[in-house]
Structure 1
Amino acid sequence: MKIDKEILDHPTHAQHKLKLEYTEIPFNCNGCKEAGIGLKYKCKQCEFDLHKVCAVASPVITHPFYKKCEFRFYHRPPGTVSRICDACREDILGFVYHCKRCDFDLHPCCANLPQVLYDGEHNLYLCLKLLSSCHRCGGKGPGWSYRSECKNYNLHLSCVKELLVESWQAMYLNVDKNKARDIQSRIPSLKGTLQNHHRGRSGGNVSKCCQMAVGAVRVIVSAILGDPTAIIAAVVGSFISK
């Protein structure tokens, strides 16, 4: 069994050691510049935080979606052009896994997303491409998604981030309060989107699908933020219900 190091030296913060700790409050990772929750390595002198997956990233990885690729870990995006994560379609601003041969890029947390998530009742499977419409945006655009076992429920990673990650940053990272209220007002639209998607069906089917949406969003967000555990999924659920 692999045991996590409690204290860590990291080349991007050589002046102090980092300590492993657990948080239920979202934070900004100083490595990949993405939001996080759960286990992190923290410097208490400098308020410097790293996702666990960013702090102990492997130098080279492969991924089942890109069988010909070899992803190398970089502290900064390589090259001079701006780069976008091929998983979540968000900008790459810090730590990244990059395949030089194929020019693919992945955030560390995206690269480590589980192939299967369990929301307490259903399995959700990570997919490279959508064959059915996303239940948030209604499209089949690029970027990874999670799909239910019945193949009737799909969510883009990018759509989940749009609905929730920005909201948490606004609530917990001192973003402008007007922006926070604006983002908060958009969160219930997931349920509205589902109801519109199932217009004409019985109320029971709509209710069941909306319940699946809450469970799916909860576990997907916890995975995107770097800690796909049952404990963190429950914490995420409490935020969603506020």
Structure 2
Amino acid sequence: MVHPSHPQHKLKFEHTDIPFKCDGCKEAGIGSKYKCDICDFDLHLHCALASQDIYHPFYRKCTFQFHQKPPGELMRYCNACGKDVLGFVYHCKRCGYDLHPCCAKLPHALDDGEIRLFLYRKVSSSCHKCGRKGPSWSYRSPCKKYNLHVSCVKEMLVEIWQEIYFSDGGKKKSLEFHTRIPSLKGMLHNHHKSKKGKVRKCCEMAGTAVQFIISAVLGDPSAVIAAVIGAFMSR
């Protein structure tokens, strides 16, 4: 395909387990993407195949229009994850809301047949990473005891990938090292006071489900990440 943001060369579809930075929205990605081999130019699927106008159930009065650059002169931030908007964005002129393309397309339910998590704009329970109740969108378990901000997932990935990259003074890592999703062990707080089996079971299931949240946040909710994500709940 030929994309308006990169008209000089055709982009080809491919799947990768290696993390990349999308040249459209400037956010991290993994899984399916469109790539220019000549320029090393990458786009998330949601950025490459962006609709001109979208609607979102969290903002029923808004019409979001796609922009290749943030509108206006002031710095803008995504109303889903709270992170800066540096490239492609969906913007509602009427309300002033902004959404990264991948955030705008986050699945409202993550379900592998056993584990279920649902996306909420606001929740009353605290996030297991930061301990706060807002303001980022969150994925929450049906028992309402497990909650993880979309913004916190992004922060964890960036922090750990940076730690991996700079841990040896910036020397080039092997392909095997780069293709794994970092372990999230010890990254989250345990807010459960109860030792009851149902609560503990919910935590264990949510711990397994974090890989699906990561896939969704990185722009490919259908991706099967071939990596071991260690137990990350505090014991």
Matched, 1:72 2:65: yes
What is the DSSP-based 3-state SS (H/G/I as helix, E as strand, rest coil) of the residue aligned with 1:240?
A: coil
**Please, which of 217, 226, 230 is the counterpart of residue 219 of structure 2?**
226
Match of 2:34 among 13, 24, 41: 41
Counterpart secondary structure, 2:204:
helix
Determine what percentage of the aligned residue pairs are the same residue.
Answer: 57
Letter in 1 for 2:229: I
Residue correspondence of structure 1 range 84-123 to structure 2 within 5 A: 84-123=77-116
Task: Using the TM superposition, name which of 144-153 and 37-46 deviates more.
Answer: 144-153
Shift of 1:151: 1.7
Residue in structure 1 matching 2:43, options 46, 50, 68? 50
Write out the 4+ residue segments of structure 1 that deviate beyond 6 Å after TM superposition.
none
Q: Structure 1 residues 178 and 211, CA, compared in 2 at 3 Å: closer, same or farther?
A: farther
Could you tell me which of 93, 100, 117 is aligned with 1:124? 117
Whether the 8 Å contact between 1:30 and 1:49 is mirrored in structure 2 is: yes
Does residue 167 of structure 2 align to residue 177 of structure 1? yes
Q: CA RMSD in A?
A: 2.4
Distance 2:182 2:107 in 1: 30
Q: How many residues align?
A: 221
Report the Cα offset of residue 207 of structure 1. 4.8
| Corresponding residue SS for 1:12 | coil
Structure 1 residue runs without a partner (length 5+): 1-7
1:82 is displaced (CA, Å) by 0.5
The residue type equivalent to 1:44 in the other structure is: D
TM-score (norm 1): 0.83
Q: TM-score, normalised by structure 2?
A: 0.85
Shift of 1:63: 0.3
Question: C-alpha displacement at 1:211, in angstroms?
Answer: 1.8
1:190 to 174, 187, 202: 187
Task: Give, in whole Å, the separation in 2 of the partners of 1:205 and 1:127.
Answer: 22
Where structure 2 has 5 or more consecutive residues not aligned to the other structure, the ranges are 171-180
Shift of 1:163: 1.4
Deviation at 1:178, TM superposition (A): 6.6
- The structure with the largest helix share of the pair is 1
